[in-house]
Structure 1
Amino acid sequence: MGVLTDYFRAADAATVVRALELTEGGLPPLGGEGSFDGVEAKGVDPDVVLGQLVAVALGEPWRTGLVTETAVWPATPAPGPAGPADEDDPWATGPWVTELGGAARDALAAIPDERVPEAVGRWAEAEEWDGADPSDLLPLAEELIALARRARAAGEQLYCWICL
């Protein structure tokens, strides 16, 4: 089973929650009328895979927690240490949305165009890419960087919608 991840930008978490309430947690199609500006990035989780691109952008080693995340959805309170009460709990089934910290957005947005191919080459070395060809990852990286730039320019945050 693969993990679906979409990245998008929005003014704030309240805007995201209102949109998700209308769709019962489904993300409106990205890029269409009345939807979020975003990028489909299957399997690019915020902490590890995107975090490794952020680490490259910052010129430092990857570490867990480099990309900070704040839970936005489900809109119900998060479960305690024992986890979700049952399999019907939205925290057990998803989808989930997190707001990424501004530092990740800014690090991606700051990668100069001329440095993107080199950054992607280093990103492709991540174990999670399993020897992927950097040229295959370049379009995705360019989309994520462009999204981060648009979010920064608009004073918006980046969000990640995750579904199993």
Structure 2
Amino acid sequence: MGVLTDYFRAADDRAVLAALDDAEGGPLVGGARAAFDGVETKGVDPVVVLGQLIAVARRVEWGVGLVGETPVWPTTPPPGREGPADEDDPWATGPWVMRLDRPARDTLADLPAEEVPDVSARWAAAAEELPDADGDDLRPLIEQLSGLARRAREAGEDLYCWTCL
């Protein structure tokens, strides 16, 4: 079983929390009736894998803090404790929702279509977490993420990542 990561756009954290209260299975469940406009991915976490895409697009070296993220759900940090987490602890079991920083959104939104093939090839080479992917495989995902980011920016919205094990 892999890690599911859905990227979506929303007006604010309150809208995300309200919609997640009403939807089991994530923000994109329901097809045409999904709570949000988004892109389904598998294994494209915001810090490392998406961060590597952002680094390639910006032509900078990747680092852990390249994509800023703010926790939206769970809403409170886990209490200090020793030993394993309680099986009902959402910090241990998920799902988790993070709001991505606007520079990451804008990097994706500003990616010119003519640069996507080059960015795709360089991302495939950089992302060890996507060992079976090549540039051609990743091109549609980059186009989808870039389009989502453009729509988010045009609407004055943020990008979010919902992650589930």
TM-score, length of structure 1 as denominator length = 0.91
User: 1:49 aligned to 2:49?
Assistant: yes
Q: Any gaps of 5 or more consecutive residues in structure 1?
A: none
TM-score, length of structure 2 as denominator length = 0.91
Note the C-alpha offset of 1:152: 0.8
Q: Any gaps of 5 or more consecutive residues in structure 2?
A: none
Looking at structure 1, the residues matched to 79 and 56 of structure 2 have their Cα atoms a distance apart, in angstroms, of 34
Looking at structure 1, the residues matched to 111 and 140 of structure 2 have their Cα atoms a distance apart, in angstroms, of 14
Equivalent residues of 1:125, 1:131 under 8 A apart = no
Tell me the C-alpha RMSD between the 2 structures: 1.9
Write the deviation string for residues 32-64 of structure 1: whole angstroms up to 9, x where unpaired: 236200000111000000001101111101111
Query: Which segments of structure 1 move beyond 3 Å, counting only runs of 4 or more?
Result: 80-85
Looking at structure 2, the residues matched to 148 and 72 of structure 1 have their Cα atoms a distance apart, in angstroms, of 19
Note the C-alpha offset of 1:93: 0.9
Q: Identify the residue that residue 163 of structure 2 maps to in structure 1.
A: 162
Looking at structure 2, the residues matched to 69 and 93 of structure 1 have their Cα atoms a distance apart, in angstroms, of 19
Looking at structure 1, the residues matched to 148 and 106 of structure 2 have their Cα atoms a distance apart, in angstroms, of 11
Equivalent residues of 2:5, 2:42 under 8 A apart = yes
Is the partner of 1:150 in helix, strand or coil? helix
Equivalent residues of 1:106, 1:148 under 8 A apart = yes
Aligned pair in 2 of structure 1 residues 7, 112: CA closer, same or farther (>3 Å)?
Answer: same
Looking at structure 2, the residues matched to 131 and 93 of structure 1 have their Cα atoms a distance apart, in angstroms, of 27
Aligned length: 163
Note the C-alpha offset of 1:129: 1.9
Write the deviation string for residues 121-143 of structure 1: whole angstroms up to 9, x where unpaired: 11001222225221011111110
Aligned pair in 2 of structure 1 residues 40, 24: CA closer, same or farther (>3 Å)?
Answer: closer
User: 1:113 aligned to 2:136?
Assistant: no
Write the deviation string for residues 80-112 of structure 1: whole angstroms up to 9, x where unpaired: 454875121111111110000001000111111
Equivalent residues of 2:55, 2:66 under 8 A apart = yes
**Aligned residues with identical type, % of pairs:** 62
